[in-house]
Amino acid sequence: MVEHVVDGIVALRASGLTKRFGETQALGAVDFSLDFGKITGLVGENGAGKSTLLNILTGITSPDQGTIEISGREVVLKDYADAQMLGLARVFQEQALILNIPVYANLLLGSEARFASLGQFIRRSAMIELAQQMMDTAGVSIDVRRHTGDLSFSERQLVEIVRACMGPVMLFGVGTPIVLLDEPTASLEKRDEQTFFDLITRLREQAGSVLFVSHRLGEILSACDEIVVLKDGRRVGAVDPAEASERQLHRLMVGRERDRDYYHEGEQVDVKDKDVVFAARGLARRGAYDNVNLEVRKGEILGIGGLLESGKSALGRGLAGISPPDAGEIRLMQDGWERPDIAHLIAKGVGYVPAERLVEGMIASLPIAWNISLASGQDVFSTPAGFWRHRREAEVSAELIQRLHIRATSPYQSCDHLSGGNQQKVVLARWLARDLCLLILDNPTRGVDAGAKEEIYRLIRALAADGLAVILITDELLELIGLSNNIAIMRHGRIEAMVPAPVDDKPSEQTLVSLMLSVNAGQLLGDVA
């Protein structure tokens, strides 16, 4: 059992942490500490150094300079296992679960030896019992015998959170764990968020230490005892949440006030008389969505909103031909009606950005240029004879890096060395390398900081102004309202309402939420007609 002394000693102290990747300085002499019984917020733009700091604190990356103390004792963390044994646990920004094994196996992954008999037989019943105790203690109602891949995205995120928050206590006997949470709520459904906040509050009451990283500044202000701000790899301030505001945090993060027109609503295009670029009729997929009809005009941003189980993400995959519908047809430009087929749609100018960039959006171990050329190997970056056009790949990638302000040393820098926001820009760049008529975006700013969000919003607006049709699927209500010309609200797999969102008469959050929940829907439909 690891014993932590609380009185007079901080849980974790980092001094002078410095890290460079080639010519890029990710951290510059950062001092940082976590107190027992407190929740500390950490904010900063993508590329500010947050992930590098967390990687160093959990033994994944070694600092070039600086020291780490845990409970007053200097330590050298060789790897993540070292950190775990000392009571540190982490929820990563991207989910790190194995989908084809049960929940209990994911919760106890790496600790199977504790349940071995005679050196070779695993006591599965004991694993299930302990894993269920972890869930129950955390207040999460998930049967740990379920197959992980059968859980919703939000439920899988809860599994990650339980593993980090309960693992140190129930596996390693750490009385006061240090839990590092990297964007833990980005994938949580609203009903699961309260479970998460109850859990970290309980950790704080039991003298545990929590580091909470989030781009949702309101959450940070309401949940944390202190907030530390990073900018360009350096600590630029620490604020008291009781005396701070989102505007102040944004100014510290990016060095400027938030643009009043954050969603660039003044640039919204009037598409009433524009040609229809894309239409769908009667689309249905068993268990996901049914009888979906919609159309998108040139320069239009059609928003699709709804609760997580509404079917909106599944619909996006169906429209792109990735998971084709069981019934229904789509029509692109002046083509005839047809079943969605991904290869045909890409060739005709349809792009798709998935919600989970590291799972479906990119191969992070590959260079930027290779990720950009992934969707265009048969035409843009190869000759008719099949020879790869290396020079064009490099030139196009360099141009897109500059256009999208991707922070990278070269087109051939590995994507796993980029921040989350810059990785997302690479995914977008892949489609901008092609001649598009329609871009389908599923939560394009998930896990992206305020500054990078604004850049992505500006890009989406510019693309729409150039005539590109955009389908925007998002869980962020303000994003949905601010960017969209029209908003399709989905509920139980059906489009509940089509809500106009002109620049001078945007619908309210209350209106959209009520439609998502079907509260007084008939009256609301009259109000927004």
Give per-residue pLDDT as tens, 256-295: 554 447 888 989 989 999 999 999 999 999 989 999 999 9
Q: Report pLDDT for 529.
A: 41
C-alpha dihedral sign at 515, 519, 525, 527: negative
Give how far Cα 301 sits from Cα of 448, 450, 457, 480, 505, Å.
20, 21, 11, 10, 16
Give the CA dihedral 201, 202, 206, 208, nearest 10 degrees.
-60
> What is the reported pLDDT for 23?
67
Q: In this predicted model, what pLDDT tens digit does every residue of 46-104 receive, in sequence order?
A: 678 888 999 999 999 999 999 999 988 999 999 988 888 888 989 887 778 889 999 99
Number of residues in the chain: 529
Tell me the fold of 274-349+436-529.
Rossmann fold (3.40.50)
pLDDT value of residue 312: 94
Alpha-carbon separation of residue 471 from 78, 195, 455, 507 (angstroms): 45, 32, 18, 18
The domain covering 12-254 belongs, at the CATH homologous superfamily level, to P-loop containing nucleotide triphosphate hydrolases (3.40.50.300)
Q: How many CB atoms lie within 10 A of CB 440?
A: 27
What's residue 524's pLDDT? 44
pLDDT of res. 281: 96
For residues 403 and 397, the answer to whether their CB atoms sit within 8 Å is no
Which of left, alpha, beta for 252 (phi over 0: left; psi -120 to 50: alpha)? alpha
Stretches in the chain below the pLDDT threshold 50: 1-5, 258-260, 519-529
Q: What angle do CA 428, 184, 315 make, to 5 degrees?
A: 50
Asked if 65 and 56 touch (Cβ cutoff 8 Å), the reply is no
Q: What percent of the chain has pLDDT over 90?
A: 55
Q: What is the pLDDT of residue 95?
A: 79
Indicate the domain borders of the chain: 12-254, 274-349+436-529, 362-434
Alpha helix segments (H runs only) across 275-341: 312-319
- What pLDDT is stored for residue 313 in this prediction? 93
Predicted pLDDT of residue 64: 94
Tokens of 328: 């229904």
Which amino acid is it at 408?
A
Predicted local distance difference test score (pLDDT) of residue 49: 87
With a CB cutoff of 8 Å and minimum separation 6, the contacts of 506 are 265, 481, 482
